[in-house]
């Protein structure tokens, strides 16, 4: 068990907060409401690419399944097969000269990197 914690994220028109003590809301929310126009939108489900789910034992489960799924769909890879280890453990790489040129879509990679970060 940890001490009372409050995490606040401000954007131009939104304040998102997370805390681990419901009684703390009764204490801090009125004070924040004096400075900012607040509206409680209820329990957090999805924020900044992270899905949040409150478990029955009071723990918070965070995952990025939807984010990863959306990314795979965007890259048309949603039907790709899963692999646990794409290379054999201990695989050694060797440099090999070749005349073959593989064309990689710069836009696709830029989009992937931008979406990922």
- The three-state secondary structure class of 34 is helix
> What secondary structure does DSSP assign to 58-110, as a single string?
S-EEEE-HHHHHHHHHHTT-TTPPP-S-SS-TTPPP-----S------HHHHH
pTM metric for this prediction:
0.48
Average pLDDT, the chain: 76
The answer as to whether 43 is a domain residue is: yes
- The three-state secondary structure class of 17 is strand
The answer as to whether 47 is a domain residue is: yes
Residue 28's Cβ-side half-sphere holds a number of Cα atoms within 13 Å equal to: 15
Helical (H) or strand (E) element with 10 = strand 6-10
The answer as to whether 13 is a domain residue is: yes
Is the Cβ–Cβ distance between 45 and 51 less than 8 Å? yes
Domain enclosing residue 53, as ranges: 6-65
The answer as to whether 42 is a domain residue is: yes
Predicted confidence at residue 114, as pLDDT, reads 66
Residue pLDDT, tens place only, 77-92: 889 888 777 777 788 8
Closest alpha carbon to 32 in 11, 12, 16, 54: 16
- Number of independent structural domains in the chain: 1
pLDDT of residue 116 exceeding 60, the answer is no
Predicted confidence at residue 106, as pLDDT, reads 58
The answer as to whether 36 is a domain residue is: yes
Residue 73's Cβ-side half-sphere holds a number of Cα atoms within 13 Å equal to: 6
User: What is the average pLDDT across 95-100?
Assistant: 70
Predicted confidence at residue 63, as pLDDT, reads 92
The answer as to whether 93 is a domain residue is: no
């Amino acid at each position: 068990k940890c001490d009372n914690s409050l995490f606040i994220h401000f954007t131009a028109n939104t304040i998102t907060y997370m805390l681990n003590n419901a009684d703390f809301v009764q204490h801090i929310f009125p004070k924040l409401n004096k400075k900012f126009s607040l509206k409680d939108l209820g329990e957090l489900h999805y924020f900044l690419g992270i899905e949040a789910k409150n478990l029955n034992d009071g723990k918070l489960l965070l995952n990025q399944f939807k984010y990863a799924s959306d990314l795979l769909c965007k890259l048309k890879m949603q039907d790709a097969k899963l692999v646990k280890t794409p290379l054999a453990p201990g695989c050694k790489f060797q440099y090999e000269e070749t005349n073959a040129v593989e064309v990689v879509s710069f836009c696709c990679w830029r989009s992937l990197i931008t979406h990922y970060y």
